[in-house]
Structure 1
Amino acid sequence: MRTTYDFPPAVDGALAPPRLTQGGARDRLLDAAYELFLQRGIRDVGIAELISRAGVAKATFYAHFTSKDELALAYLERCHRDMTVEAIIAETGRRTENPTGRLLAIFDVLDGWFRQDDFQACAFISTMLEVGAAHPLGIASIEYLAQVRAFMRTLAVEAGLEQPDVLARSCHILTKGSIISAVEGDREAAVYAKHMAASLIRDHGGYPITAG
Structure 2
Amino acid sequence: MTADPDDHRNPYVARERILRTAYDLFSRRGIRAVGVDEVIERSSVAKATLYRHFRTKNELVVAFLERRQQVWTRELVLDESGRRGQTPEERLLAMFDVLDEWIHSDDFDRCTFINVLLEMGPDHPVGKAAIGYLEELRDMVKQRADEAGLYRTEEFARSWHILMKGSIIAAYEGDGDAARRAKRMAADLIEQHRSPDEPTRVPAGTSAPGR
Q: CA deviation at 1:118?
A: 3.4
Where does residue 179 of structure 2 map in the other structure? 190
Distance in 2 (alpha carbons) for counterparts of 1:86 and 1:142: 19
Comparing 146-155 with 170-179, greater Cα deviation is found at 146-155
> RMSD of the alignment, in Å?
1.7
1:143 to 108, 132, 135: 132
Answer with 1 or 2: which has the greater Rg. Answer: 2
Equivalent residue number for residue 209 of structure 1: 203
Moved over 3 A (4+): none
Structure 1 residues 207, 164: CA separation in 2 closer, same or farther (over 3 Å shift)?
Answer: farther
Aligned to 1:73: 62
Partner of 1:39: 28
Amino acid at match of 1:209: P
Q: Distance in 1 between matches of 2:118 and 2:201?
A: 35
Matched-pair contact (CA < 8 Å) for 2:76–2:98:
no
User: Aligned match of 2:164 in 172, 175, 179?
Assistant: 175
**Per the alignment, do residues 123 and 49 of structure 1 end up closer, same or farther by CA in structure 2, a change over 3 Å counting?**
same
SS in 1 for 2:86: coil
In percent, how many aligned pairs have the same letter?
51
Tell me the equivalent position of 1:8: none
Alpha-carbon shift at residue 208 of structure 1 (Å): 4.5
SS at match of 1:24: helix
User: CA separation in 1, counterparts of 2:52 and 2:137?
Assistant: 33
Per-residue CA deviation, residues 156-190 of structure 1 (Å, 9 max, x unaligned), is 11212121111111111100111111121222110
Structure 2 segments unaligned to the other structure (5+ residues): 1-11, 195-199, 206-211
Point out which structure has higher relative CO (alpha carbons under 8 A, 6+ apart). Answer: 1
Q: In structure 2, the residue corresponding to 1:116 is in which secondary structure? A: coil
Q: Paired residue for 1:30, among 14, 19, 44?
A: 19
Contact 1:161 1:204 in 2 (8 A): yes
**TM-score, normalising length from structure 2?**
0.85
> How many residues are treated as equivalent by the alignment?
190
